[in-house]
Amino acid sequence: MSRRTEIQVGATVLVALAITLWGVTWLKELSLARQVRVWRVTFPQTGGLSSSDEVRVNGLRKGNVSRVELLGDHVLVELALASEITLTTDSRVAIRNVGLMGEKVIAVDLSAHGVAYTPRDTISGVYEKGLPEVLADMGGTVDAVTRLATQLQTIAEVMDKNGMLDRTVTNFHSTSEQLKLAVSENRALLKETMVNLNAASRTAKSLTTDREAQLKRTLDSFERSAASMERLTVRLDSLRGSLQSVSGKIDRGDGSLGRLVNDPQLYEDAKASVTQLKALIEDIKKNPKKYINLRVF
């Protein structure tokens, strides 16, 4: 076999191998495309998430990340999940850290409740901070604590130079001793006060327990009195209306009393009649025979 023939055979084998690999890959992708559904999820950030990262549904691997792209101020992530997985509005999709090195996965907390999404819908996802983000946030906190400790140390040094720190500690110790002495001296009084409070509590409890029926009757009496007062108020209001009506009639001159009040001449005539009647009565008392003629047969 010549060298040219060998080259032709080798090239033919390589081409056939390439075609075979391409066919296998295409058939595999076609099979996977039939077995998965793609879901669109947006996140505020991804924290280093990349294509081919796994997707776990309730802890089980059920797909992977097929595409990641920036969409405005959010990141659009396409998830290729097993075809039997259906996301709902009660499901939660989050970017979660696994391991100490901060590896990212898509964690789906699947729920059968809620309205089912379709692959055309865009789902809002959640980004969960991992250990690296927490450590980064703690860095700022540690710096703040360090600055605070430095300031406290500076204040302590200044107070120590001026002797204020020793005096403060001495005063605090003295105050503590005085408080301890006051508590010791008044321990009996405090105990007696607690005993009195306990006795007063028991007395109040016995009064309310033993006289529960009486208290209930008293409350019922108050309730009946309140109802009676309400009825009396209604009657007084009615009486007030009647008095206002009578007063209005008198002011308008209706009736005898109204005419008497509003007609001065009628008032003067009535006054004169009363005066004459009084004079007649006095004359009858003085001269009864003048008016009474009594004969006995």
Query: What does the domain layout of the chain look like in residue ranges?
Result: 36-128, 253-292
Q: What is the model's pLDDT at position 55? A: 92
Q: In the chain, what percentage of residues exceed pLDDT 90?
A: 13
Question: Distance between the two ends of the chain, CA-based, in angstroms?
Answer: 199
Strands 60-71, 74-82: pairing is antiparallel
List, for residues 126-176, the tens digit of each pLDDT value: 988 766 666 656 666 767 777 777 777 777 776 666 666 677 777 777 888
Q: What is the model's pLDDT at position 297? A: 44
Output the average pLDDT for the chain. 78
Strands (E) across 138-233 are located at: none
If you average pLDDT over each of 5-14, 59-68, 249-258, which comes out highest? 59-68
List, for residues 253-263, the tens digit of each pLDDT value: 666 666 666 66
Q: What is the model's pLDDT at position 292? A: 62
Minimal CA–CA distance to 119: which of 49, 54, 63, 185? 63
Helix, strand, or coil here: 255? helix
pLDDT(40) > 90? yes
Between CA 52 and CA 64 the distance in angstroms is 5
Average pLDDT on 7-36 reads 70
Q: Given pLDDT bands bounded at 50, 70 and 90, which one contains residue 77? A: very high
If you average pLDDT over each of 39-53, 207-221, 240-254, 275-289, which comes out highest? 39-53
Q: What is the model's pLDDT at position 68? A: 92
> Which residue intervals of 36-130 are DSSP H helices?
none
Between CA 273 and CA 255 the distance in angstroms is 20
Between CA 186 and CA 182 the distance in angstroms is 6
Between CA 106 and CA 47 the distance in angstroms is 12
Helix, strand, or coil here: 153? helix
Between CA 263 and CA 81 the distance in angstroms is 108
Between CA 95 and CA 46 the distance in angstroms is 7
Q: What is the model's pLDDT at position 75? A: 92
**Higher per-residue pLDDT: 81 or 130:** 81
pLDDT(125) > 60? yes
pLDDT(281) > 60? yes
| Burial category of 37 from C-beta neighbours within 10 Å (exposed 0-12, middle 13-18, buried 19 and up) | middle
Helix, strand, or coil here: 61? strand
Q: Enter the pTM of the model.
A: 0.38
Q: Given pLDDT bands bounded at 50, 70 and 90, which one contains residue 296? A: very low
Q: What is the model's pLDDT at position 216? A: 80
Between CA 264 and CA 214 the distance in angstroms is 63
